[in-house]
Amino acid sequence: MTALIYPADAKVRLELTVNGERRVGEAEPRMLLVHFIREVLGLTGTHVGCDTSNCGACTVVLNGRAVKSCTVFAVQANGGSLLTVEGLARKGRLHPIQEGFWEKHGLQCGYCTPGMMMAAYDLLQKSPNPTEEEIRRGISGNLCRCTGYVKIVEAIEYAAQKLRSDPSWRSGGD
């Protein structure tokens, strides 16, 4: 095996599984994953909030783990598997996390929401029955300027309960 080499200004063809589908797109090596997702794949649900990996608005699940996609180069995701907010719902059914945010008023402006939900997704994969404190820690890398977090915590409690009681959601989302 030898090194993959992608020259600086040339576009690289990337192939990855996105929300369960094979997707192909081109990116310069310097293109950040979040820009690839938004500009090339056209999935604009993933947002840019801070550019410095502090706010978590750009959180997606890459190869099974939540990541701030503003701090990964798109080329690093080549061949990988990506889950974005657009891939949470299944067959027209809202994911329990989405449902929880809606039911419990877990969002106001909605800008942090996709990243917040993807962080919640990661948390609930690791810890299906979290305490309030675990939820607060689990989403501590995601900033919301609107809600005061109380209702976000309730939304995730709602989702956790629903996921535990409905086995059809249990097998990962991607």
Partner 1 sequence: MDMSATSVVVGERRGVKPKPEKEGFVGKPLKRVEDLKLVRGLGGFIGDLKVEGMVYAAFVRSPHAHARIVGVDSSDVLRLDGVIGVLTAKDLGGVGNLPTVDEDAEKKPTPRRPLAVDVTRYVGEAVAVVLAKDRYTAEDAAELVRVDYEPLEAVVDVEEALKPGSPLVHDHLKSNVCYHSVNTVGDVEDAFAKADHVVSLRLVNQRLAPAPLETRGILASYDRGNGELKVWATTQDPHGLRDTLASILGLPQSGVRVIAPDMGGAFGSKISVYPEDVVVSYAAIRFNRPVKWVETRRENIVTTTHGRGQVQYVEAAVRADGRILGLRVKIISDSGAYNTPGALDNPTLTAQMFTGEYDIKAARVEVYSVLTNKVPQDAYRGAGRPEAAYLIERTMNVIARKLGMDPIDIRRINYIPREAFPYTTPGGLTYDLADYEANLERALEFSAYTRLRREQGEARRQGRLMGIGVATWTEICGFGPGLPQTAAVTVTPAGEVMVSIGGHPHGQGHHTPIAQIVADELGVDIGRVSVRHGDTALLPWSSLTAGSRSAALTGSAALLSARKIKRKMSLIASKLLDSDSSELVFSDGFVYSKSNPSRKVRFEEVADAAYKPWKLPEGLEPTLYEYTAYTPPDYVFPYGTHIAVVEVDRDTGEVEVLKYFAVDDIGRVINPMLVEGQVHGGIMQGAGQALIEEVAYDGGGQPLTQSFAEYLIPSTQTLPNIEWTRTETPTPRNPLGVKGVGEAGTIAATPTIVNAVEDALSEYNVVVDRMPLRADYILSLINNSGKRQN
Partner 2 sequence: METFILVFKVLGFGDLCLYPASFEYYAPASLDEAIDLLNKHREEARVLAGGHSLIPMMKLRVLRPAYVIDLNRVKGLKYIEEKGGEIRIGALTTYYDVITSDIVKRRVPILAECASVVADPQVRNWGTIGGSLSHCDPSGDMGSSILALRAKMVAKGSSGERVIESDDWFVGSFQSALKTGEILREIVIPTPKPGSGGAYLKLERKAGDYAIAAVGVQVTLDGSGSCTYAGIGLTAVGPTNLRAKKAEQALVGRKVDDRVIEEAARAATEDCRPTDDPLRGSAEYKRAMVGVLTKRALNKALADAKRSR
Enumerate binding residues for partner 2 (CB under 8 A): 1-9, 12, 28-30, 32, 51-53, 56, 59, 65-68, 70-73, 75-76, 119, 122-123, 137-142
Q: How far apart are CA 60 and CA 63, in angstroms?
A: 10
Q: List Cβ neighbours of 4 (8 Å cut-off, separation of 6 or more).
A: none
Taking the complex as a whole, how short is the minimal distance between the CB of residue 42 and partner 2, in angstroms?
Answer: 20
Q: Does 101 bind partner 1 (CB under 8 A)?
A: yes
In residues, how long is the chain? Answer: 174
Q: Does 140 bind partner 1 (CB under 8 A)?
A: yes
Residues 89, 173 contacting (CB under 8 angstroms): no
Grouping H, G, I as helix, E, B as strand and the rest as coil, residue 174 is coil
Taking the complex as a whole, how short is the minimal distance between the CB of residue 92 and partner 2, in angstroms?
Answer: 29
Q: Does 110 bind partner 1 (CB under 8 A)?
A: yes
Residues 83, 50 contacting (CB under 8 angstroms): no
- Give the one residue of 23, 71, 78, 136 binding partner 1; rule: CB under 8 A: 136
Residues 117, 138 contacting (CB under 8 angstroms): no
User: Which of partner 2, partner 1, none sits in contact with 151, Cβ below 5 to 8 A by type?
Assistant: partner 1
Taking the complex as a whole, how short is the minimal distance between the CB of residue 32 and partner 2, in angstroms?
Answer: 7
Q: Does 149 bind partner 1 (CB under 8 A)?
A: yes
Taking the complex as a whole, how short is the minimal distance between the CB of residue 3 and partner 1, in angstroms?
Answer: 24
Neighbouring C-alpha atoms within 13 Å toward the C-beta of 136: 7
